[in-house]
């Protein structure tokens, strides 16, 4: 829940693309960091333009490798962030292949220097080395455009990288239907698309359904190939076609506009709404190849899961179309390195199912069939382990149809989720998608502990013998915590909060709360940032602001997430819920071994679990990781989190109430560990002797001792749990405590009544350091006594 839960480290490891961590290691050892150059088509979003102060007329780009004729391709060479920029001597661009009779040339870069690498995860890996622009002037035909960039360096020689670009014209969805319709033979994407808001956004707009605010400015995103730049007219997009045929935006928005347009301007209407070509690029060269996979540059249309520019060319447009803008600062995008530091690549099949776009989509497609009229889509492709951040297409199926029709947000799956212990979650609503990944990867809790102890695999991707990372519930256990499932409960009925039952769509209800554009946290928290907090800096001091509005609907009047609920840690004071959980985490950690396998009583911030830990230690360590890895510090489910920690402490010590007496002793005399009469300092017998002292002496706490002038005599020979027959005399004492300064001599003194002469108690004490000092002196036989401490010098 708090922003500081997510690490903001600025290093990354991306298998299948760039190994920055390896590069940094080589540099540290005296070797040169590798260049790792690439040439890409850089997306350019409305947000990019406004944030960097570029001219409003700048043409946007989805970063596709299939573009309309005359549309700019923003060429960008990126190199390893660890490579010294000063070692790059030059970056040049050349068209090494293009269609016959094409006169296209490379032109000078128009993007500003303060516009960095586009993908947030890539920003942790790459730096921009050079840029240029290509405007294709002819369709691809037999020869796609191939651009080669040459990077010269003083330390790594010369490197060439290439990019293939297809150029085409726009056809409209009718052409796509020939193959991708219900009976077209190819996957039937068009019938699915027809159920989405994309398919009718322009129609609804000009027909007045969307309200009076709809205007010409909306068409750049709501139509196909819209481009007002004269150099791009050859691409026959919506604007160019409207200009050629004389269609103008209607002065009055009414429900007959689109029907009239279809009758009078059918070519223009054909390019209305957000269609296939908005995201895949112009389809002419793909369609005219008639499925010939041997055609140069096949598939001659853009098909990409890892390019966030596809969506952000429209959805990164502050301050109104900001889903993409929000995503750019989210952990899912890799902006906080959360995803970018997770290795992908060969052998990481189990990890990429949640940590990369390709892996997740493949997993979901492998288990979900999409039935439509006349066809079924079922993808059983092998897992793709190439890295791609968790982006729009990961969570949303842009074609629609993979889930029930009452799914306006095109969430990729709303299927029920089965947690590692077999718990089936059906009540999470739209958060069923979140729970696909935000639960333990490692199977059932009890099974994990048992397999670890016997040196077996604890989960599908575990190693043999198991490594330290194979023990425990893994990082993202938020779903398990919310549902109060899949932890070590010791057979106890541990209470749970009602969040899973009362919060609409569970995770979504809080983490995607709406933030007003006037709020300082706008675009930094809520909605598609998924953040519940944001940081502010005042006079160089960074502080965290928690968005508690959604909490106040039920809890009322709180200002941050660490608000008091109850004394979970039994400290005698009700502190903030996150503080209470941290106290219990610390207490439990002191009972577990350190990295050397020794229980040293110190507070630990991580578990170094080995297979030779006792069963009780492993169970407690699992629960410690479960609560710690949830990250909310009790906010998701305070009763369950604190209950697990206290149950773990009790299982290790026999003391379920922190700071309390053994459960067996308290239950035997008081019936329940929650009975306040069983508290350590309670005096149920009324003789001035607390429970903790009677426990330590093996005495019955319910039997009153006999008071004598010089102390208290307990003559309880029967009913004693330990069977003692001794008479025990208990004396009282005074504990005198004071602060010291090293080298100073301190003398404790006492008198029986004020006004009398002070008498030394014991010998002087010389302090050896600056600390608190305590002196215990008996008060046996004394009715009253006063103490003081004098010092020299």
Mark residue 506 as left, alpha or beta (left: phi above 0; alpha: psi -120 to 50; beta: remaining).
left
**Over residues 509-521, mean pLDDT:** 94
Mean pLDDT over all residues of the chain? 86
User: How many other C-beta atoms can be found within 10 angstroms of the C-beta atom of residue 499?
Assistant: 21
The answer to whether 458 and 470 have CB atoms below 8 angstroms apart is: yes
pLDDT at 3: 34
User: Is the model's pLDDT at 78 over the cut of 90?
Assistant: yes
pLDDT of residue 656: 78
Tell me the average pLDDT across 297-319. 91
* Section 314-330 average pLDDT: 94
Q: pLDDT at position 706, please?
A: 77
| DSSP, residue by residue, 689-722 | --HHHHHHHT--TTSPPEEETTEEEE---SS-TT
Lowest mean pLDDT among 3-12, 82-91, 451-460, 664-673: 3-12
Q: What is the mean pLDDT of residues 306-322?
A: 93
What is the reported pLDDT for 70? 92
Rounded to an integer, the average pLDDT of 426-450 is: 91
Residue 438 · residue 478 · CB < 8 Å = yes
Residue with the bigger pLDDT between 312 and 459: it is: 312
The whole-number pLDDT of residue 345 equals: 81
778 vs 470, which has greater pLDDT? 470
Q: What is the pLDDT of residues 532-579, one digit of tens each?
A: 999 999 999 999 999 999 999 888 889 999 999 999 998 888 999 999
Residues of the chain with pLDDT > 70: what percent?
88
Task: List the single range of 386-395, 521-530, 585-594, 769-778 with lowest mean pLDDT.
Answer: 769-778
Q: Which of 328, 50, 374 is nearest to 194 (CA)?
A: 374
Residue 780 has pLDDT above 80, yes or no: no
Task: Decide: residue 558, CB within 10 A, 0-12 exposed, 13-18 middle, 19+ buried.
Answer: middle
| Token output for 62 | 């989805």
Model confidence over 16-43: pLDDT tens digits? 233 233 333 333 334 579 999 999 999 9
Average of per-residue pLDDT across 325-329: 95
User: Which pLDDT value is given to residue 779?
Assistant: 67
Residue range 38-53, pLDDT digits in tens: 999 999 999 999 999 9
100-114, 162-176, 735-749: range with lowest mean pLDDT = 735-749
Task: State yes or no: pLDDT of 410 exceeds 50.
Answer: yes
Of 615, 675, 686, nearest to 651 by C-alpha is 615
Q: What is the structure's pLDDT at 783?
A: 60
The yes-or-no verdict on residue 207 having pLDDT over 90 is yes
Confidence of residue 667 (pLDDT cuts 50, 70, 90): confident
pLDDT for residue 246: 95
d(CA 250, CA 253): 6
CA dist 206 and 214 (Å) reads 7
pLDDT of residue 725: 53
Q: Give the pLDDT mean for 223-248.
A: 86
What pLDDT, on a 0 to 100 scale, did the predictor assign at position 21?
A: 32
Asked if residues 775 and 748 have their Cβ atoms less than 8 Å apart, the reply is: yes
Q: Is 537 in contact with 516 (CB distance < 8 Å)?
A: no
Instruction: Output the pLDDT for position 20.
Output: 31
Question: How far is 107 from 135, CA to CA, in rounded Å?
Answer: 8
The answer to whether 738 touches 773, Cβ cutoff 8 Å, is: yes
User: What pLDDT does 714 receive?
Assistant: 64
Beta bridge partners of 711: 708
What CATH superfamily classification does 9-168+321-395 receive? Immunoglobulins (2.60.40.10)
92-106, 223-237, 649-663: the lowest-pLDDT one = 223-237
DSSP characters for 107-141? EE--S-TT---SSHHHHTTEEEEEEEEE---S--T
Strand partners, 738: 773
The confidence score (pLDDT) of residue 709 equals 61
194 has a pLDDT exceeding 80: yes
- Decide if 127 contacts 64 (C-beta within 8 A): no
**117-153 tens-digit pLDDT:** 999 999 999 999 999 999 999 999 989 999 999 999 9
> 715 pLDDT exceeds 70?
no
Compute φ and ψ for 18, nearest 5 degrees. Answer: -145, 135
pLDDT at 293: 84
DSSP reduced 3-state for 597 = coil
The SS3 assignment for 337 reads coil
Q: How far is CA 276 from CA 180, 183, 256, 395, in A?
A: 10, 18, 25, 19
Instruction: Return the structure tokens found at 96.
Output: 């090494």
The pTM assigned to this predicted structure is 0.80
């Amino acid at each position: 829940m708090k922003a500081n839960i997510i690490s903001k480290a600025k290093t990354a490891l991306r298998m299948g693309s760039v190994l920055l961590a390896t590069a940094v290691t080589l540099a540290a050892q005296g070797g040169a960091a590798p260049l790792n150059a690439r040439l890409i088509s850089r997306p350019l979003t409305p947000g990019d333009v406004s944030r960097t102060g570029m001219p409003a007329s700048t043409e946007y780009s989805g970063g596709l490798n299939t573009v309309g004729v005359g549309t700019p391709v923003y060429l960008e060479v990126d190199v390893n962030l660890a490579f010294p920029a000063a070692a790059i001597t030059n970056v040049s661009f050349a068209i090494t292949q293009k269609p016959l009779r094409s006169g296209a040339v490379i032109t000078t870069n128009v993007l500003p220097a303060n516009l960095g690498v586009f993908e947030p995860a890539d920003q942790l890996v790459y730096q921009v080395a050079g840029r240029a622009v290509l405007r294709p002037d002819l369709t691809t035909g037999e020869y796609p455009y191939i651009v080669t960039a040459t990077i010269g360096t003083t330390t790594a020689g010369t490197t060439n990288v290439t990019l293939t670009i297809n150029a085409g014209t726009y056809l409209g969805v009718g052409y796509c239907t020939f193959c991708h319709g219900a009976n077209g033979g190819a996957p039937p994407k068009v019938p699915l698309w027809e159920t989405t808001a994309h398919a009718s956004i322009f129609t609804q707009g000009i027909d007045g359904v969307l309200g009076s605010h709809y205007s010409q400015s909306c068409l750049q995103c709501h139509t196909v190939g819209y481009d007002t730049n004269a150099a791009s007219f050859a691409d026959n997009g919506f604007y160019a076609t409207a200009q050629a045929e004389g269609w103008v935006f209607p002065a009055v928005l009414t429900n007959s506009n689109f029907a009239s347009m279809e009758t009078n301007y059918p070519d223009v209407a054909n390019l209305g709404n957000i269609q296939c070509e908005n995201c895949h690029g112009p389809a002419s060269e793909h369609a005219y190849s008639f499925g010939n996979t041997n055609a140069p540059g096949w598939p001659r249309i853009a098909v990409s899961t890892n390019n966030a520019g596809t969506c952000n060319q429209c959805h990164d447009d502050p301050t109104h179309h900001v889903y993409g803008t929000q995503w750019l600062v989210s952990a899912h995008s890799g902006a906080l390195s959360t995803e970018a530091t997770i290795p992908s690549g060969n052998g990481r099949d189990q990890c990429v199912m949640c940590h990369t776009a390709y892996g997740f989509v493949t997993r979901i497609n492998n288990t979900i069939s999409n039935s439509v009229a006349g066809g079924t889509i079922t993808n059983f492709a092998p897992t793709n382990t190439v890295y791609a951040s968790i982006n729009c297409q990961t969570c949303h199926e842009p074609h629609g149809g993979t889930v029930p029709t009452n799914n306006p947000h095109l969430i990729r799956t709303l299927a029920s989720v089965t947690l590692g212990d077999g718990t089936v979650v059906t009540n999470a609503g739209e958060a069923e998608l979140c729970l696909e990944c935000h639960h333990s990867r490692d199977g059932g809790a009890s099974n994990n502990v048992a397999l670890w102890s016997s040196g077996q695999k604890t989960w599908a991707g575990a190693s043999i013998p198991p490594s330290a990372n194979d023990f425990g519930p893994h990082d993202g256990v938020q779903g398990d915590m919310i549902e109060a499932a899949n932890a070590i409960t010791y057979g106890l009925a541990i209470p749970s909060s009602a969040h899973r039952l009362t919060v609409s769509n569970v995770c979504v209800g809080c983490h995607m709360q709406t933030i007003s554009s006037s709020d300082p946290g706008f675009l930094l928290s809520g909605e598609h940032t998924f953040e519940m907090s944001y940081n502010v800096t005042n006079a160089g001091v960074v502080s965290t602001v928690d968005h508690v509005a959604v909490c106040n609907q039920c809890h009322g009047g709180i200002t941050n997430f660490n608000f008091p609920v109850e004394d979970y840690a039994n400290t005698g004071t009700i502190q903030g819920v996150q503080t209470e959980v941290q106290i219990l985490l610390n207490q439990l950690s002191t009972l577990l071994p350190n990295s050397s396998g020794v229980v040293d009583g110190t507070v630990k911030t991580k578990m170094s679990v080995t297979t030779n830990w006792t069963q009780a230690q492993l169970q407690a360590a699992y629960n410690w990781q479960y609560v710690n890895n949830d990250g909310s510090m009790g906010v998701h489910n305070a009763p369950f989190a604190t209950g697990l920690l206290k149950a773990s402490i009790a299982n290790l010590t026999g003391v379920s109430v922190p700071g309390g007496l053994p459960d067996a002793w308290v239950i035997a005399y008081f019936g329940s560990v929650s009975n306040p009469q069983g508290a350590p300092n309670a005096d149920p017998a009324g003789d001035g002797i607390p429970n903790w002292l009677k426990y330590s002496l093996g005495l019955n706490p319910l039997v009153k001792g006999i008071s004598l002038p010089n102390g208290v005599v307990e003559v309880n020979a029967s009913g004693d749990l330990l069977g003692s027959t001794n008479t025990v005399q208990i004396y009282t004492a005074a504990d005198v405590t004071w602060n010291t300064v090293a080298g100073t001599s301190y003398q404790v003194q006492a008198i029986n009544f004020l006004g009398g002469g002070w008498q030394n108690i014991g010998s002087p004490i010389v302090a050896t350091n600056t600390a608190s000092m305590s002196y215990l002196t008996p008060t046996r036989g004394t009715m009253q006594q006063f103490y003081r401490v004098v010092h020299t010098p």
